[in-house]
Amino acid sequence: MTGKMQMAKLYIVPTPIGNLEDITLRALRVLKEADLILAEDTRTSSVLLKKYDIHTRMESHHKFNEHKTAEGICRRIREGLNVALISDAGTPGISDPGFLLVRTCIEAGVEVETLPGATAFVPALISSGFPSDRFCFEGFLPVKKGRQTRLGELAGETRTVILYESPYRVGKTLGQLMEFTGPDRMAAVCREISKVHEECRRGTVKELYEWYSMNEPKGEIVMIIAGKDYERGEKLQEAR
């Protein structure tokens, strides 16, 4: 897309996951030219908009109201309103509201344009050092029902596995993983990506479990689990 907006559509606009400089020129232009910005939390998004002198009107669009508002938003776009959807951080639809609105628009014949941009799991995957040619993104695990079943399935996954997790459950999740993968499966815990206190800690599931059982992390967490067939010794030997 080049130049000023023409036909009304829904724009999916990624926003920075930490450092406010991690936003594209195209994203800034779309946010300035849109008639309406749908934000997960208008208070959080106002910080970004203020930094870049964007005065587009905002409305709330989050997991608690999206089922009620999706059709209405779709109708407004069909009537000529250009709408940009953003989340608090990262790309809408990736463990954030967005999927339902996108599907509703597609079914109604409304054009959807998704911009490339920030998302937490890609830099975490690369920083882990595990194979990135094939990977499995799982997002957040079920908190209760189905959690054990999912962990069992992931333990047998040969691709690199990517999880999002609450900082309050990192130790618990690593302990549960260890029951299914064994203590020697390699993993990495990445937190606060692109922020001042960014960290990527690598080791076996057991080593990470022991560390985070004693040191509760803070901030946004991405966990990377090596695939079942990943062998540390073989990979290090190949690297030499």
- What percent of the chain has a predicted confidence (pLDDT) above 90? 86
pLDDT band at residue 6 using 50, 70 and 90 as cut-offs? low
Q: Please, is 72 exposed, middle or buried when counting C-beta atoms within 10 Å of its C-beta (0-12, 13-18, 19+)? A: exposed
CATH architecture of 121-239: 2-Layer Sandwich (3.30)
pLDDT beyond 70 at 2: no
User: For residue 46, what pLDDT is reported?
Assistant: 97
CA 69 to chain centre: 23
Domain boundaries, the chain: 10-114, 121-239
Average pLDDT over residues 30-43: 96
Average pLDDT over residues 44-70: 93
User: For residue 3, what pLDDT is reported?
Assistant: 53
CATH number for the domain running over 10-114:
3.40.1010.10
pLDDT band at residue 4 using 50, 70 and 90 as cut-offs? low
Average pLDDT over residues 211-235: 86
Average pLDDT over residues 227-233: 78
User: For residue 236, what pLDDT is reported?
Assistant: 38
pLDDT beyond 60 at 215: yes
User: For residue 114, what pLDDT is reported?
Assistant: 97
CA quadruple 72, 77, 81, 85: dihedral positive or negative? Answer: positive
pLDDT band at residue 233 using 50, 70 and 90 as cut-offs? very low
pLDDT beyond 90 at 203: yes
pLDDT band at residue 7 using 50, 70 and 90 as cut-offs? confident
How far is residue 123's CA from residue 132's CA, in Å, rounded to a whole number?
11
* Cβ atoms 86, 17 nearer than 8 A: no
User: What average pLDDT does the chain have?
Assistant: 92
* Cβ atoms 136, 121 nearer than 8 A: no
pLDDT band at residue 109 using 50, 70 and 90 as cut-offs? very high
Q: What is the pLDDT of residues 142-166, one digit of tens each?
A: 988 999 999 999 999 999 999 999 9
Token representation of residue 131: 């194979």
Query: What is the SS3 assignment for the chain?
Result: CCCCCCCCCEEECCECCCCCCCCCHHHHHHHHHCCEEEECCHHHHHHHHHHCCCCCCEEECCCCCHHHHHHHHHHHHHCCCCEEEECCCECCCCCCCCHHHHHHHHHCCCCEEECCCCCCHHHHHHHHCCCCCCEEEEEECCCCCCHHHHHHHHHCCCCEEEEEECCCCHHHHHHHHHHHHCCCCEEEEEECCCCCCCEEEEEEHHHHHHHHHHCCCCCCEEEEECCCCCCHHHHHHHHC
Average pLDDT over residues 11-22: 96
pLDDT beyond 60 at 234: no
